[in-house]
Structure 1
């Protein structure tokens, strides 16, 4: 069962708005929602992009099939980012309040501790798992704080991209800190 109607209602968007924004007729979208007509692959992608959800979620594919698809097709960072947000929303983990943000910050700290342990023990699998888990917890924390982690990353890169400095004893020191 697809989730077209459910996602549209959650986002409080009318059929008319979807039609105007996507160029797909409201009647056709209604047929998609009632499963009287099946969208083409390009249309699924267009609607998933419009609603900012993974195509597999929008189509209502079972988790086992989604995992199979994910094994056969590598997702982009952006697709993973959206899938993680959707996963957290589905589990009511993102409430955008101080209490849940503090709880999520504790998870970030916990994952960084596991990463430290993996690095200290030179455990490659633990390091990979902890890096991935750290990213997941940061994406959820950013969403809980009403920030887009990709936007935060872009801003950070724009700050460092022209930065000059030196590596001393394995740590990068900004040029401005070298003169102090």
Structure 2
């Protein structure tokens, strides 16, 4: 049983009561409890506040991991990459058969960042960039690729690239002469 359902039952609440109190539909709450959908950061916070428990507890993060994160204060890219893969594996999200579905998650997050940019909403942009990275890490795993290796490969290709920035867009030298 996931922590969302477990916490709701411990508090003696029905899905309907939680939905009425939080403004989150019963159906969506049910998806979260069955782990068919993952709440956004703001929703985790709202539910943790509602149940009066730490977000990390509600998310089911191991206490050792929570303590490690708290002590460190931040995680480097490699450690976050490792934790995201573990988190996705624990939830059985990583599956080579789900490549097209995971790619759709990436594009969904791209739409959210576009909305954030259009509305000049810095918090939405920040959240969307993080979500894009998470979905890309999972997609890379579905494709049996390491996202850090992909990033290294891309950098090796561009590190010595020459070109010119035109209207805010970098155009590589070979495309300038076409």
Q: Shorter-chain TM-score category?
A: 0.5 to 0.7
SS at match of 2:109: helix
Offset at 1:144?
A: 0.4
CA distance in 2, matches of 1:71, 1:119: 31
Q: How many residues align?
A: 118
CA distance in 2, matches of 1:86, 1:160: 31
User: 2:148 maps to what in 1?
Assistant: 150
User: 1:103 maps to what in 2?
Assistant: 101
User: 1:1-180 residue pairs with structure 2 within 5 A?
Assistant: 63=62, 66-73=65-72, 74-97=74-97, 100-180=98-178
In structure 2, relative to structure 1, the CA distance for the partners of 1:69 and 1:93 (3 Å cut) is same
SS at match of 1:166: strand
Offset at 1:120?
A: 1.1
CA distance in 2, matches of 1:122, 1:156: 29
CA distance in 1, matches of 2:149, 2:134: 16
CA distance in 1, matches of 2:100, 2:149: 21
Offset at 1:62?
A: 5.4
Give the number of the structure whose alpha-carbon radius of gyration is greater: 1
CA distance in 2, matches of 1:158, 1:103: 30
CA distance in 2, matches of 1:62, 1:119: 31
SS at match of 2:96: coil
Unaligned stretches of 5+ residues in structure 2: 1-59
CA distance in 2, matches of 1:170, 1:108: 25
Runs of 4+ in 1 over 2 A off after TM superposition: 61-69
Offset at 1:117?
A: 0.8
CA distance in 2, matches of 1:109, 1:62: 27
RMSD of aligned residue pairs (Cα, Å): 1.6
Offset at 1:64?
A: 5.0
